[in-house]
Amino acid sequence: MNEPTPERTPMATALSATLVGVYALQWAFGATDGLGLVHMGATSPVFWERLHVWTVFSSTLLHIGVLHLLANTYFTYVVGGLLERVIGPWRMLLVFFAGGTVGSLLSVVLLSDTVSAGASGGAWGLMIAMLLLLLSPWLRVGTRLRAGPVGPLLRLIGLNAVLSFLPGINGLAHLGGGLGGAMAVVITARGGRIWAVPAGLAYLVHLGALAVAVFVGRPWALGDVGPVERRTVLDGYVSLELPIAMETADTPEGLATLGGSVDWDPLTVSIELARFDEPPWAGIASQAVPCPGNCQARRAQNASGGEALWGFRPYGPYALVTVFAMPAGIDDPDWALQAVQGATLTEAGVGLLVSLAVTARSDGDPATHRDVLEALLIDHPDSARALNQLAWQLATDPDPAWRDGARAVELAKRAVELEPLPSYQDTLAAARAETGDFAEAVRIQRQVVEADPDPGFGAHLAVLERGEPVREDPMAARTVPAQGPE
């Protein structure tokens, strides 16, 4: 036999106080909405991505704003108190948690891409359970409830049903809550005090799930990026500082790396080698400001109230683009700005840009070839490949507008000092010839031929010995290795 309490409703009061206390904790942690709410234990895409199964329970104690809290607390206290007087505290508690849990499960299965929280599933469980009690004489056996008018309750349920279709309201949680509450009130129709243990365990499970969510999510520390390290990303082409704990993955469709999850991580990163003169980067870059070196940066507020930082390293029409999205109140925003500005190409990345420059020149675009290499040399003044490739253009281009013998000698000498390869010495010989110093050009080229009998080097020697400068057909640059490296 159930033992309802005629006047006092301690369990409904305790349940309502729990909801208010949990919201106070949310407010203290800044976790009443957004990413903080997810880290506090709301259901979200993280349920499937990271298997945060405890959020099925913890989410039923959380609320999104004061109005949400007040509405659910009111229904829990009033309807829960009425139900507690009728069927007793333990059955009422099981009805509430059954409604909340089933509603939460329905949400994560059918609305897996949505952040959801609230005790409305439990409140709906209470309302539907009361409706069934009024309609069913069998369920009323052993209770103090007598048959009575159901109109007021139906109006209340109808009003809430209409509200379930409003934008931002999780109607599935309401539906699941009603189903869960109905099942619980039927299953517990007999047994009396035997439901005390299951009800107490349900309460502890939900509170324990909330504790796990808070422990794992650390909602109070969303602004702490943790220790950082310099890492190589983008298939080995880029180096930059990232949090040690951040997971990164290269995208399969192009030269881009993504770090962090927008559904969970307070800091997310995107690193990409992109066309700087095409959308969306062209529009964003037009609002950037210079930073030290070959760098531009832009800082703006994002939709969540945090900051988005863009860093650009332009190389002609290409750019290394680094984007950091951060929450409001990040502990060290200057670190993020320095990280964006400090993103740089690795040796492999420089090689990739040199190859893109060679391809552009071979396709009849000498301006892109020069612009890419000039920009590379700002960031990487000791890149022998970039030095040599630019010197080769300045020494051998058929169009005199692109030639500069003195600069070609300067660049080629530096390349040879860094790496005395035969191909780089070949470029130095061509540069000497462009300045009119054929004697030195022939001397250098003979050393090249002795070191490497490549027919292309021999052909250049023959040209120089006739007192003629070396000229290259840019359209053949990719098919005659001796006329320029890679």
Q: Is residue 5 part of a domain?
A: no
Does 36 fall in a domain? yes
- For the chain, the domain total comes to 3
pLDDT of residue 246: 86
Give me the helices (H) in 248-383, please.
Answer: 281-285, 333-342, 347-362, 366-379
> Which helix (H) or strand (E) covers residue 273, if one does?
strand 268-275
Residue 55 has pLDDT above 50, yes or no: yes
Q: Look at 95-99, 272-276, 343-347 and tell me which has the smallest mean pLDDT.
A: 272-276
Last residue of a domain, one of 156, 186, 221: 221
> Is a pLDDT exceeding 60 seen at residue 3?
no
- Residue 259, strand partner residues: 248, 269
User: What's the pLDDT score for residue 157?
Assistant: 74
Q: Is the domain of 372 the same as that of 248? A: no
Residue 2 has pLDDT above 80, yes or no: no
Query: Residue 292 pairs with which residues in a beta bridge?
Result: none
Q: Does the pLDDT value for residue 134 go beyond 50?
A: yes
Q: How far apart are CA 341 and CA 293, in angstroms?
A: 9
Same domain, 71 and 92: yes
Counting residues of the chain whose pLDDT is more than 70, the rounded percentage is 86
Do residue 238 and residue 145 come from a single domain?
A: no
| Chain segment 64-100, per-residue pLDDT in tens | 999 999 999 998 998 898 889 888 899 999 999 999 9
Model confidence pTM above 0.75? no
In this structure, the answer to whether residues 65 and 191 fall within a common structural domain is yes
Q: Which two tokens stand for residue 368?
A: 């892109």
Give me the half-sphere count of Cα atoms (radius 13 Å) on the Cβ side of residue 371.
Answer: 13
Question: Same domain for 403 and 431?
Answer: yes
Q: What pLDDT is recorded for position 144?
A: 56
Close Cβ partners of 309 (under 8 Å, ≥ 6 residues apart): 297, 298, 299, 323, 324, 326, 336, 337, 340
Q: Does residue 206 fall inside a structural domain? A: yes
Longest Cα–Cα distance in the chain: 117
> pLDDT category, 332, cuts 50, 70, 90?
low
Q: Which residue has the higher pLDDT, 191 or 180?
A: 180
Indicate if 270 and 180 belong to the same structural domain: no
Domain that holds residue 174: 10-221
